[in-house]
Amino acid sequence: MNGALGHTGVVLAFVAATVGAIVLAVGLATKRTGVLRSGRHYAVVLLAGAVLATVAMERALLTHDFSLAYVAANNSRTTPLLYDITGMWSALAGSILLWGLILAGYAVAMVVRFRRRADDTLVAWATLVVFVVAAFFFALMLGPADPFAHTVGAIPANGNGPNVLLQDNPLVAFHPPMLYLGFVGFTLPFAFGIAALATGRLDDDWQRETRRWTLFAWTFLTIGIVLGAWWSYQVLGWGGFWGWDPVENASLLPWLVGTAYLHSVMVQERRGLLRIWNLSLVIAAFCLTILATFLTRSGVIESVHAFSDSSIGPVLIGFFGVVVFVGVGMIAWRGDRLRAAGGIDGPVSREGAFLANNLLFVAFAFVVLLGTVFPLFYQVFNPTPITVGAPYFNRLVIPIALALLFLMAVAPALPWRKTTLEVMRGRLAVPAAIGVAVVVACVAGGVHGLEPLLAFGLGAFAAASAGRSLVLAVRAAIRTSLAAGHRPTRAALAGWRGLTGRANGGMIVHVGVVLVAVGITAATAFGQRGEVRLSPGQTARFDGHVIEFVRPATVRTPARSALEGVLRVDGTGHFAPAISSFGPNTEDVGTPAIDSGLRDDVYLTIDSVPNHGDRWTFGVVVQPLVVWLWIGGALLAIGSVLSAIPGRRRRRPTAPVSEHVVDVAAPARASRPSRKEKGGSERDAPTDGGDHAVPVGAGTGTGSGADLP
């Protein structure tokens, strides 16, 4: 029954996507608005089919229906409830089903969002593209990635259970869905980009919609990557959070390109520049999500994160080729209409900083892409496998990351078009002094090494610059509230408005990036690895910490049996690294224990258990400031959410305002800069590192109505 329901749902979704695309194509060809309006209704049917298939799969997992090959391979009667549920995305076919469900959800969100523009050709083209992509993924589920295929031969009495690494930590319930929400979310910006090229409507309409959906996708992908790093740190037992694994790199690539787009789109909004570049970034982000899907699901790479060999690799790489061909071809077709009339007035300007920022992000992505796919190209001509390891990535990525930190520090102070040395000195003197002070303090504290010192100094510089912008924005929000006649207490509470909007939310994201950079730098540059051999009751010192072996322990549950070594760190806590087994036919897996603090983490594993005698060997990794990485990741998520909250619209003044008075209600001009803007006055200082020009005293720190997300 579960198989029949599941197949029915997949067929229904595939038919809805296919028919919806055909109906919209007919409506566009015949210019019949009634047909265009009817085409959007197929998104609801698409979602209904996806939900039906998902319910059938979850029911099969929860009832242990081993008549389905997928359930028999990824579920067992002793699997805990949480991992029964997450089993849907624990292997290839189920992960494609999750992809289809999320894409169907995005399709419905899109048609609901544009229900009043159902006869708009731009929206119709975008919806058609989404239907085509959905039809492709549901076609995979009707063929080589069928999650409802029946078990061949006799139905087993019990299944194999999920991969042991997928039932050892509850983060499996959060990391993959968030990652997929990000990956799949890039379909909508791609759809609007193709729609703009197809219709020739290359004005700001497509770009506004693309920016919104890109922000959503980027936010989810950011959360997914951070959770993935945390999961790796908590589960894999090697003490790291990022190993430049090909699958990790595959998730990073669209994030880098999406980040570049979210910055460069502001130049198009403000100055009408970088049109071809922005369309190229939108298409590239989607292409890289398809490439990532190929890398993780084709079996062409060896990775602890990758799925096993499958037959869908050629189909995915073929779809990737089609998407690249269509995207590049359409940009070339519309190339003449995409050229901007003007150019960048000066390199030391907001648009100049954004261009440099984009070049660095694209260079970053190219380095990661080259290191990820080079072994595949090499094996085409030489059967000997090779790997590209961390030294390659670190050597090329670290200078780029340092340059990006510098731009994050300087960009908030840059006005549009051009600036003066006096303006830059006035805005950057305090943040630069803070950065220098941090470097001096680090040297005095015994920190050595050029790269760590640069990272800490530039990080402090960037954080101080972002903090300055946030303080100005909060102060402006309070002034606006006071000017409106509110009481001081209410005005103080209104200061939170200075943290919302694209500009100020972006600054919180910048602070999060700084914390992540500092955490990674400290952990990788100053971490210590070693091992201690202890009998119960003995202690040992390692890198300033006292490790005490309290006792061994055995833990048994229906799903897991484990041998633990109970430890104390610095005389407190009970930390129990373990060697766990999840069923009789599975390999043992190490489970680390972590004593985490603001200063450092003590990461503990069992390296060996004695056959005779009582001395155990424990692996110990001490890494400074790792928790800052997770705090920074949380700030990335918070800042992304705040940037999606529209700031308060400001009314235009009824009378001209003197150039020498900072008017807290003065709107940001998006068309022609004033003389003071050209000269780089404080009034055109942004409230973040490159959102849009906003007067420092402009109420909430967000732009005018045109700047709202």
Same domain, 671 and 599: no
Same domain, 111 and 205: no
Q: 103: which 2 tokens?
A: 């894409």
Axis-axis angle for helices 501-526, 390-410 (nearest 10): 140
CA 677 to chain centroid, in Å, comes to 35
Alpha helix ranges (H) inside 40-185: 42-62, 69-74, 81-86, 92-113, 121-142, 175-185
Residue 397 placed within a domain: no
Q: What gap in Å lies between CA 240 and CA 601, rounded to an integer? A: 11
Backbone angles phi, psi at 433, to 5 degrees: -65, -40
User: What is the pLDDT, as a whole number, of residue 472?
Assistant: 87
Same domain, 486 and 511: yes
* Count of domains observed in the chain: 4
Residue 396 placed within a domain: no
Residue 399 placed within a domain: no
Q: Tell me the sheet residues that pair with 553.
A: 564
Same domain, 377 and 488: no
Same domain, 5 and 72: yes
Q: How far is CA 531 from CA 201, 419, 536, 567, 580, in A?
A: 63, 56, 16, 14, 20
Residue 530 placed within a domain: no
Last residue of a domain, one of 591, 614, 637: 614
Q: What angle do CA 679, 682, 688 make, to 5 degrees?
A: 115
Same domain, 80 and 1: yes
Q: What gap in Å lies between CA 82 and CA 494, rounded to an integer? A: 42
Same domain, 141 and 248: no
Domain that holds residue 325: 169-388
508, 511, 515, 521: CA torsion to nearest 10: 140
| Pair 600, 573: CB distance under 8 Å | no
| DSSP label at residue 68 | B
Residues 449, 450, 452, 456: is their CA dihedral positive or negative? positive
| Pair 162, 87: CB distance under 8 Å | yes
Tell me how many helices (H) and strands (E) the chain has: 22, 10
107: nearest Cα among 85, 75, 137: 137
Q: What gap in Å lies between CA 433 and CA 656, rounded to an integer? A: 38
Residue 398 placed within a domain: no
The set of residues, in sequence order, having a beta carbon less than 8 Å from that of 660 and lying 6+ positions away, is: none
The set of residues, in sequence order, having a beta carbon less than 8 Å from that of 207 and lying 6+ positions away, is: 196, 265, 268, 269, 278
User: What is the pLDDT, as a whole number, of residue 423?
Assistant: 75
| Pair 367, 400: CB distance under 8 Å | yes
Q: 78: which 2 tokens?
A: 């002793």
Q: What gap in Å lies between CA 231 and CA 251, rounded to an integer? A: 15
User: What is the pLDDT, as a whole number, of residue 309?
Assistant: 55
Strands 593-596 and 589-591, how do they pair? unpaired
User: What is the pLDDT, as a whole number, of residue 245?
Assistant: 86
Q: What gap in Å lies between CA 705 and CA 702, rounded to an integer? A: 9
* Tokens 């499958």 belong to residue: 310
Residues 691, 692, 693, 698: is their CA dihedral positive or negative? negative
Residue 622 placed within a domain: no
| Pair 604, 197: CB distance under 8 Å | no
- 3-class DSSP assignment, residue 601: strand
Residue 5 placed within a domain: yes
Q: 473: which 2 tokens?
A: 């924005």
User: What is the pLDDT, as a whole number, of residue 567?
Assistant: 94
Same domain, 107 and 142: yes
Same domain, 653 and 681: yes
| Pair 622, 602: CB distance under 8 Å | yes
Buried/exposed 373-403: b ≥16 CB within 10 Å, e otherwise: bebeeeeeeeeeeeebeeeebeebbeebbbb
Same domain, 475 and 426: yes
The set of residues, in sequence order, having a beta carbon less than 8 Å from that of 383 and lying 6+ positions away, is: none
Q: Tell me the sheet residues that pair with 567.
A: 549, 575
Same domain, 339 and 435: no
The set of residues, in sequence order, having a beta carbon less than 8 Å from that of 421 and lying 6+ positions away, is: none
Q: How far is CA 494 from CA 434, 499, 500, 518, 552, in A?
A: 29, 10, 11, 32, 55
601: nearest Cα among 573, 580, 564, 566: 573
Residue 219 placed within a domain: yes
| Pair 188, 130: CB distance under 8 Å | yes
Same domain, 492 and 546: no
Last residue of a domain, one of 359, 388, 417: 388
Chunked mean pLDDT (size 10), the chain, 709 residues: 93 96 94 89 96 96 94 90 91 92 96 87 93 96 92 88 83 92 94 91 74 90 93 86 88 94 82 80 94 80 55 88 94 76 64 87 94 84 80 92 93 74 81 94 91 94 92 85 77 76 87 95 92 92 93 86 91 90 77 92 91 84 94 93 71 37 35 40 38 33 31
Instruction: Write the burial class of residue 496 (CB in 10 Å: 0-12 exposed, 13-18 middle, 19+ buried).
Output: middle
How many of the other CB atoms lie within 10 Å of CB of 337?
11
What kind and span of H or E run contains 27?
Answer: helix 2-30
547: nearest Cα among 561, 537, 557: 537
Q: 245: which 2 tokens?
A: 């694994």
Last residue of a domain, one of 162, 196, 225: 162
Backbone angles phi, psi at 35, to 5 degrees: -65, -40
